[in-house]
Amino acid sequence: NGHKPAARFLIVKGADVNAQGSDASTSLIWASLNGHEAAARHLIDNAADISARDNDGSTALMEASSNGYEGVARLLIDKGADIQAQNND
């Protein structure tokens, strides 16, 4: 379900929407990787960095696209994601 209520709660409590995990993935990258469009939209609406990259150089758009999540990919493109970005491969 994308855990939008949990994301909303954490943001209200001051969580950093651009915090990175050990592989440099952000919440937006994870939401995109898993096709959670509502959560991705909520994160973007709360200043998530659309251009953030993980340790492999992958962006949220790359993850959404490579996993077949067209709705998430369209959202990211509509919000200004770089369609020319390349990862480290």
- The one-digit pLDDT tens for each residue of the chain (89 residues) are 556 677 778 788 888 999 999 999 999 999 999 999 999 999 999 999 999 999 999 999 999 999 999 999 999 999 999 999 999 98
CA 21 to chain centre: 13
Structural domains of the chain, ranges and CATH numbers in brackets: 4-78 (1.25.40.20)
Question: Mind giving me the DSSP string for 5-36?
Answer: HHHHHHHHTT--TT---TT---HHHHHHHTT-
Neighbouring CB atoms inside 10 A of 23's CB total 10
- pLDDT at position 14 is 84
- pLDDT at position 3 is 66
Residue 77 phi/psi, 5° resolution?
A: -65, -45
What's the rounded Cα separation, in Å, for the pair 50 and 61?
8
Tokens 């991705």 -> residue? 40
